[in-house]
Amino acid sequence: MNKWDQRYLALAKEVSTWSKDPSTQVGAVTVGSKKEVLSQGFNGFPRGINDSDERYNNRDIKYQLVVHAEMNAIYNATYSGTSLDGATLYVYGLPICSECAKGIIQVGIKKVVVEKSKELDNWNESVQLSQKMFDEAGVELIINPKN
**142 labelled binding-site residue:** no
Catalytic annotation, pick one of 70, 115, 125, 136? 70
Indicate if 54 belongs to the active site. Answer: no
**93 labelled binding-site residue:** no
Kindly report each contact of residues 11-18 with a partner whose C-beta sits within 8 Å and lies 24 or more positions away, as own/partner. 11/37, 11/40, 11/90, 12/40, 12/90, 12/91, 12/92, 12/93, 12/115, 13/92, 13/93, 13/115, 15/40, 15/41, 15/42, 15/69, 15/92, 16/42, 16/43, 16/69, 16/92, 16/93, 18/42, 18/44
**105 labelled binding-site residue:** no
- Contacts for 145 with CB less than 8 Å, ≥ 6 apart: 115, 116
Binding site listing for Zn(2+): 68, 97, 100
Q: Which residues are catalytic?
A: 70
Binding site listing: 68, 97, 100
